[in-house]
Chain A
Amino acid sequence: MRIHGTYIDGSCMASTLVEKIFSRKCNRSIKAGDVVMAPVDMAMIHDITGPLAVQKFQEMGGKTVFDPEGIVLLFDHQVPADSISAAENHVFLRKFAREQNVENLDEREGICHQVVMERGRAAPGEIIVGADSHTCMYGAAGAFATGIGSTDMGFVLKFGALYFRVPETIRVSVEGEFPDRVGPKDLILDILGRIGADGATYQALEFTGDTFRTMEMPGRMTCCNMAVEMGAKAGIVPPDAVTWEYLAGKRDIAPFPLSSDENASFSMKYTFDASRLAPRVAVPHNVDQVVDVTKVAGTHIDQVFIGSCTNGRYEDLKEAADVLGDREFHPDIRVVVIPASRTEYLRALKAGLVERFISAGGLVEAPCCGPCMGGAFGLLAPGEVSLSTSNRNFRGRQGSTDAFVYLCSPATAAASAIKGEITDPREV
Chain B
Amino acid sequence: MRVWKFGDNIDTDAIIPGRYLVIYDPWALATHAFEGTRDEFAQNAREGDIIVAGKNFGCGSSREHAPLALLGAGVKVIIARSFARIFYRNAINVGILPLVCPEATTIEDGSTVTIHLEEGLIESNGRKLPIEPVPPFMKEIIDAGGLVAYARNLEKVETCIGSQ
Contact = CB atoms under 8 A, between A and B. Distances in A.
Interface of A: 1-2, 25-28, 31, 33-39, 48-49, 51-52, 55-56, 59-61, 77-78, 83, 85-86, 88-89, 131-133, 135, 147-152, 154-155, 158-159, 161, 163, 165, 197-198, 201-202, 231, 233, 286, 373-375, 392, 394-397, 400-402
Contact of B36 (A27, A61, A83, A402): A402
13 contacts: A37-B158, A37-B159, A37-B161, A60-B148, A132-B62, A148-B62, A149-B86, A159-B154, A161-B159, A198-B9, A373-B13, A374-B13, A395-B14
B23 to A, nearest CB: 7
Nearest to A231: B84
A38 B161 CA distance: 8
B60 interface: yes
A394 B86 contact: no
Nearest to A85: B22
Contact of A131 (B62, B82, B158, B159): B62
Interface in B24-80: 24, 35-37, 55-56, 59-65, 67
A133 B86 contact: yes
B152 interface: yes
Contact of A374 (B19, B94, B135, B154): B19
Interface residues of B, number: 49
B82 to A, nearest CB: 6
Contact of A147 (B86, B152, B158): B86
A197 B162 contact: no
Contacts of A149: 62-64, 67, 86, 89-90, 93
B84 A147 contact: no
A281 B36 CA distance: 25
Contacts of A34: 162-164
B61 A60 contact: no
A355 B64 CA distance: 40
B36 A374 contact: no
The 9 closest A-B pairs by CB, nearest first: A401-B36, A36-B162, A85-B22, A149-B90, A26-B160, A198-B56, A151-B93, A60-B151, A375-B18
